[in-house]
Amino acid sequence: MPGMAGRALSFGAVAEVYERFRPGYPAELFDTVTAYAGRPVRTALEIGAGTGKATRLFARRGVAVTATEPDEAMLAELRRHVPASVRTVRAAFEELRPAVRYGLVYAAAALHWTEPEGRWPRVAALLEAGGVFASFGGPFRLADPAVAQAVRAARAPFLGSDEIPSPDGTPPEHDMQWPGTELQRSEWFTDVRQSVLARRSTMSAADYVSHLSTVSAYLVLPAPEREQVFHRILRVLPDRVDMTADLTVHLARRRAAD
Ligand SMILES: C[S@@+](CC[C@H](N)C(=O)[O-])C[C@H]1O[C@@H](n2cnc3c(N)ncnc32)[C@H](O)[C@@H]1O
């Protein structure tokens, strides 16, 4: 099975499906970030913007967003859905060479794909003194435990978990989760906060499987196995499924000193 590097750049193959079947981000998220900032957020750099689901949240509320993304197919999809004011840059986080600093740097369901080595000095170099870093995302889970168990059993011959393990191994029962844990240890940041915003949805079984087809753990399976696993999952699903996709939000402030 391909490793995490293969998973990181697996999304472009399904950019349109991704855009259609992944949920967007709630207005409450914008409010959470701006309330934390405590001052107007005028400029932002987004890491791993994908098809622009979080780009829209900020750009439509007047923030000048620079959306960066390494995958050209994702970026092409993003350009169809974001206001013309959004600047786009095709680059992985590690390739960014900042010429200016931003009031906000954020990553939506993307930070775990970036290189751990040098991550925080790199983010700090993109931020104004006192600027805000935000990272948010969370696993998509079936709300009904019986349905979730049936799906686990259906995919077991091909795949154990379809979630992403904590990048720094923080156990799920810990109060502070990654990347808050790394931010707390970083000399570059202060005032680290974690909060959770509820995000729920109900969809048809077919749409749920379409959604799964945008999840990296399935994307990197060989095509015949992927087809089989989706077929097996579809067989155990009720007509409609409830999903929880709560967002864990991490916020931190760049220290003033360089
Ligand atoms: C799960 S998608 C999230 C997309 C979008 N931010 C969203 O919330 O819908 C992860 C994105 O991270 C991008 N990515 C992978 N490796 C990256 C890296 N090293 N630097 C920046 N982005 C990366 C992928 O191409 C993909 O578009």
CB of residue 110 inside a 6 A radius of ligand 1? yes
The span from the CA of 79 to the CA of 92, in Å, is: 17
**Of 39, 53, 46, nearest to 70 (Cα)?**
46
Query: How many whole angstroms from 254 Cα to the centroid of ligand 1?
Result: 23
Do residues 60 and 75 make contact, with C-beta atoms less than 8 angstroms apart?
no
CB of residue 25 inside a 6 A radius of ligand 1? no
CB of residue 47 inside a 6 A radius of ligand 1? yes
H or E segment and range at residue 180:
helix 180-185
Higher pLDDT, 208 or 2: 208
Question: What local confidence, expressed as pLDDT, does residue 1 receive?
Answer: 38
Q: What is the pTM of this model?
A: 0.96
Q: Taking 90 as the threshold, does the pLDDT of residue 4 lie above it?
A: no
Confidence of residue 257 (pLDDT cuts 50, 70, 90): low
Q: What is the DSSP string of 193-230?
A: EEEEE--EEEEEHHHHHHHHTTSHHHHTS-HHHHHHHH
Q: Give pLDDT tens digits for 69-78.
A: 999 999 999 9
pLDDT, mean over the chain: 95
Query: How many whole angstroms from 146 Cα to the centroid of ligand 1?
Result: 31
Question: What local confidence, expressed as pLDDT, does residue 258 receive?
Answer: 54
Confidence of residue 10 (pLDDT cuts 50, 70, 90): confident
The protein residue whose alpha carbon is closest to atom 4 in ligand 1 is: 50
Q: Give pLDDT tens digits for 142-189.
A: 999 999 999 999 999 999 999 999 999 999 999 999 999 999 999 999
Q: Which of 51, 53, 71, 218 to mutate to test the pocket of ligand 1 (most atoms within 8 A of CB)?
A: 71
Atom of ligand 1 nearest to the CA of 8: 15
Higher pLDDT, 2 or 18: 18
Positive or negative torsion for Cα 220, 232, 245, 178: negative
CB of residue 179 inside a 6 A radius of ligand 1? no
